[in-house]
Amino acid sequence: MGALQKAARPSAVRRVKWPVFPFDRSVRVSLWLSVALVTVLFGWGAWQRRWIADDGLIVLRTVRNLLAGNGPVFNAGERVEANTSTVWTYLLYAASWVGEPMRLEYVALAVALTLSLLGVVLLMLGAARLYAPSLRGRRAIMLPAGALVYIAVPPARDFATSGLESGLVMAYLGLLWWMMVCWGQPLRVRPENRWFIVALAFVAGCSVLVRPELALIGGAALIMMMIAARSWRRRGLIVLAGGLLPVAYQIFRMGYYGLLVPGTALAKDAAGDKWSQGLIYLANFNQPYALWVPVVLLVVLGVMLMFARRRPSFMRPALAPDYGRVARAVQSPAAVVTFMLVSGLLQALYWIRQGGDFMHGRVLLTPLFCLLAPVAVVPLAIPDGKDFSHETGYWLAGAVSVLWLGIAGWSLWAANSPGLDDDATHVTYSGIVDERRFYAQATGHAHPLTASDYLDYPRMAAVMVALDNTPQGALLLPSGNYTQWDLVPMIPPGSSPAVPATQKPQHTVFFTNLGMVGMNVGLDVRVLDQIGLANPLAAHTERLKHGRIGHDKNLFPDWVVADGPWVKWPPGIPPYLDRQWVAEAEAALQCPDTRAVLNSVRAPMTIRRFISNLVHSYEFTQYRIDRVPRYELARCGLPVPQVPPSPPRE
C-alpha cells in the first residue's frame, strides 16, 4: 500500500517546465483575435495622437550628454539626475546606438509606442492565463473588456508616444502581471524552473528603477515570493536577484549625485502631500469620460465570473508537507489578483496624496492599468450543462454579454470624447491641462515630434537669435515680450578675481521649459529652470503651498545672476532685478552648508568625492534653503552686505 502511495504521489504533484493549456479552439482563436484587435486599435489611436512632450525632450538631453561622454547629466559639469525613470534613460541610450543615425526624437517615439502596445498585450495574456485552468476542456469566447476601457481613455493614447516613460511603465506592469499569474498558478500548471523565479524576482526588483513609486508594487511581489519560498536558499536567491541591481544603482546615485532620490523627486518634494489638489486631479480625470460607468460594469462582471468559475480537480493537488497553508494562500491566483488590485489602489492613493500632476490623466493611468488587469479579457462560456443547468448557463452568458456590450459601448463613446474641451489648453487655478493639445496649439504643429518643431513655441526662436548675437557670452532671462530675452552680459575675463583671464565665453538660459531649450541648443549651453529639475539650487528650496502642481518651486533669477560669471550691477542687470538682492544672494551662496551641497554636484568626481557624497547623501537630500536671499542669510547667520544704492535708471 505504501509503495502504491509513493508511486502515485509524483503524478499528483508533477510539475511541468512550462504548461500549455489545452484550450478549446474557440478560446485560442478568440483570445488572439481580441489581442490583435485591441493592439491595432491602440496603435492606430496612439499614432493619430503622436507627439513628444517637452518633458520627453528633457530625457533626450541627458541621452545626448551620455553619447557625448559627459555622463548621465543634464548640464555638463553638474551632476543632476533630471529624469525620474532610470531604466527609461538608459533604454533610450541603448536604443540610440541601435537606431543610429535616426534622430533621438524618432527613437523615443518608436520605443515608447512599441512598449505601450506590448504592455496591453501582456495585460491581456496575463488575464487569459488567469482564467485558463477553469476553461480546461470548455468552449468559450475570450472578449476584451478592461483592455478596451484602457485604450478608450484619451490620455492613454496621448502618453503612448509622448517620449516619457509611460509606455515603459505599462510594459513593465504587463510583464510583472503576466509573470505573477504564472507564479500563482497551482503546482500542476505553473512553471517550477529556478530561472523563472530568478527572472520574476529580478523584474520585481527593477520596479524602483522604472519609477520610484512602483517600489510599492515590486516590493509587495518580492514579499509574496519570500513568504511562499520553501527554503532559505530559495529566499536568498530571491533577495539577491531582486535587490542586486537596485542596491547597486542606489549606491551609484548616492555617490554620484549626492542624493537618496532622483533629482525630480527632490524638486517636487515627493514626500509632501496635497490631498485637496489630488482630489481635484482625480475629478479632472473622471469627469470628461464618466469613468465610474465602466468601473461599475467591470466590478459586476468580475464578481459574476468569480462565482461562476469552475474549480477543476488539478487546482487542488497534493502538496509537499513543508508547503504550509500561508504559503499556499500567498502563491495562489486569488492572492495575485488581490496583489494587483491593492497595488492599483495604493498607486492611486499615492498620487492623490501627492496632488496628482499638471498633465491631465497622466499619473492615474498606472493605477487604472493595475485595476483593469484581472478583467483585461473575460471569458464568455458557452453553456454545456456540466457545471450549471442549461437554463442557468444561458442566463449567465446573457448577463455577461449585456455587461460586455455596455463596456464596449462606453469605450466607443469615451474614445471619441472631446476630453477637457475648452479648458484643455487653459492653465486655470487647478493648473491641469491637456499637455498634448496645449503644445500642439502653442507650436502650430498638430504633431510636435522634434525639437525643431518647438522652435515655433513662443520665446524659442528668440533664444536662438539671442545666443547668436552674444558670442562673448550671456545669461538669458525671459522677458515680458515673447519675441526677445533679457540679457545679462558676462563679466569680462580677467577683470574680476572670480572670472580668470582664461575663462571662455559662457551661455546660460533660465527658463521653465527645459526640454525644448535643451534639445535646440548645444551641450555647451547651460540650461536651468526655476523649479529645480535641472537646477541644484532651486531643487533645495521649499515647496510653495499654493504653487501649480509640478511647478511649485520658484527660484528668483537674482540667484542665477549671483551664481555665475555675470555682471551683477546696473545697467548690466534688467530693471526688475535689485542690486541689493543680487548681492545678498551672492553672499548667501557662501553659506558653508550650501557650498557643500553645490560642491557635491560640481566638484570633479573622484573616489574621495564619491565616498563623501555617499556618506552625506542623507544630509544633502534633507537640506533646504530659503528662496529670499536675506532670510537665507539670517538662517545661515551671515551678515547682510551693504551695497551702495544704484543710480536712477534713465
**593-648 pLDDT, tens per residue?**
999 999 999 999 999 999 999 999 999 999 999 999 999 999 999 999 987 766 55
Distance set, CA 607 to CA 258, 603, 611, 613 (Å): 13, 12, 6, 10
Whether the pLDDT of residue 257 is over 90: the answer is yes
Looking at the fold, whether 496 and 400 belong to one and the same domain comes out as no
- Per the domain annotation, does 218 fall within a domain? yes
Quick one: pLDDT at residue 428? 82
Say if residues 157 and 116 touch (Cβ distance below 8 Å).
no
- Other C-beta atoms within 10 Å of 436: how many? 28
Whether the pLDDT of residue 649 is over 90: the answer is no
* Ramachandran category for residue 547: left, alpha or beta (phi over 0 → left; psi -120 to 50 → alpha): beta
Q: For residue 188, what pLDDT band results from cuts at 50, 70 and 90?
A: low
State the Cα–Cα distance between residues 575 and 579, nearest whole angstrom: 10
Mean pLDDT of 374-388: 79
Quick one: pLDDT at residue 647? 57
Looking at the fold, whether 590 and 543 belong to one and the same domain comes out as yes
- Per the domain annotation, does 7 fall within a domain? no
- The burial of 460, by beta-carbon neighbours within 10 Å (0-12 exposed, 13-18 middle, 19 or more buried), is given as buried
Average pLDDT, the chain: 89
State the Cα–Cα distance between residues 278 and 289, nearest whole angstrom: 18
Looking at the fold, whether 274 and 349 belong to one and the same domain comes out as yes
Looking at the fold, whether 373 and 509 belong to one and the same domain comes out as no
Percent helix, strand, coil in the chain, to 5, is: 60, 5, 35
Domains held by the chain: number: 2
Quick one: pLDDT at residue 423? 77
- Per the domain annotation, does 20 fall within a domain? no
Q: Of 358, 391, 418, which residue is a domain's last?
A: 418
Whether the pLDDT of residue 19 is over 60: the answer is no
Looking at the fold, whether 400 and 530 belong to one and the same domain comes out as no
Mean pLDDT of 289-307: 91
Q: Of 418, 443, 464, which residue is a domain's last?
A: 418
* Residues 6+ away with beta carbon under 8 Å from 200: 179, 180, 183, 221, 225
Q: For residue 187, what pLDDT band results from cuts at 50, 70 and 90?
A: low
Stated length of the chain: 650
- Per the domain annotation, does 122 fall within a domain? yes
Kind of pairing, strands 485-489 and 474-478?
Answer: antiparallel
Lowest-confidence region among 379-383, 469-473, 587-591: 379-383
Lowest-confidence region among 203-207, 415-419, 625-629: 415-419
Quick one: pLDDT at residue 335? 95
- Other C-beta atoms within 10 Å of 212: how many? 17
Whether the pLDDT of residue 314 is over 80: the answer is no
Q: For residue 386, what pLDDT band results from cuts at 50, 70 and 90?
A: low
Looking at the fold, whether 367 and 413 belong to one and the same domain comes out as yes
Q: For residue 23, what pLDDT band results from cuts at 50, 70 and 90?
A: low
Lowest-confidence region among 92-101, 123-132, 435-444, 464-473: 92-101
Q: Where are the beta strands (DSSP E) in 224-325?
A: none
Looking at the fold, whether 475 and 354 belong to one and the same domain comes out as no
Whether the pLDDT of residue 319 is over 50: the answer is no
Looking at the fold, whether 388 and 474 belong to one and the same domain comes out as no
Looking at the fold, whether 364 and 504 belong to one and the same domain comes out as no
- Looking at residue 234, its amino acid is R
Of 437 and 398, the one with more pLDDT = 437
Distance set, CA 393 to CA 32, 93, 381, 406, 407 (Å): 25, 54, 8, 20, 21
State the Cα–Cα distance between residues 549 and 460, nearest whole angstrom: 24
Looking at the fold, whether 482 and 551 belong to one and the same domain comes out as yes
Quick one: pLDDT at residue 1? 39
Q: Which helix (H) or strand (E) holds 555?
A: none
State the Cα–Cα distance between residues 561 and 571, nearest whole angstrom: 13
Residue where the block lists cell 499614432: 47
State the Cα–Cα distance between residues 379 and 127, nearest whole angstrom: 10
Instruction: Please tell me what DSSP assigns to residue 382.
Output: P
Mean pLDDT of 11-28: 57
Mean pLDDT of 489-512: 87
The three three-digit cell numbers of residue 171, written as one number:
510594459
> Taking the chain, what is the end-to-end CA distance rounded to the nearest angstrom?
110
- Per the domain annotation, does 643 fall within a domain? no
Looking at the fold, whether 139 and 197 belong to one and the same domain comes out as yes
Domain assignment of residue 301, given as a range: 25-312+324-418
For the stretch 506-519, pLDDT in tens is 999 999 999 999 99
- Per the domain annotation, does 317 fall within a domain? no
* Residues 6+ away with beta carbon under 8 Å from 603: 609
Q: Of 418, 436, 465, which residue is a domain's last?
A: 418
Distance of CA 633 to the CA centre of its chain: 37
Q: For residue 27, what pLDDT band results from cuts at 50, 70 and 90?
A: confident
Whether the pLDDT of residue 56 is over 80: the answer is yes
Question: What residues does 141 pair with on adjacent strands?
Answer: 380
- Per the domain annotation, does 4 fall within a domain? no
Looking at the fold, whether 413 and 460 belong to one and the same domain comes out as no
Quick one: pLDDT at residue 11? 41
Whether the pLDDT of residue 91 is over 90: the answer is yes
Whether the pLDDT of residue 581 is over 90: the answer is yes
- Per the domain annotation, does 41 fall within a domain? yes
Q: CA angle at residue 108 from 104 to 109, to 5 degrees?
A: 115
Q: For residue 328, what pLDDT band results from cuts at 50, 70 and 90?
A: confident
Can the peptide bond before residue 571 be classed as cis, meaning omega within 30 degrees of 0? yes
State the Cα–Cα distance between residues 490 and 568, nearest whole angstrom: 9
Whether the pLDDT of residue 271 is over 90: the answer is no
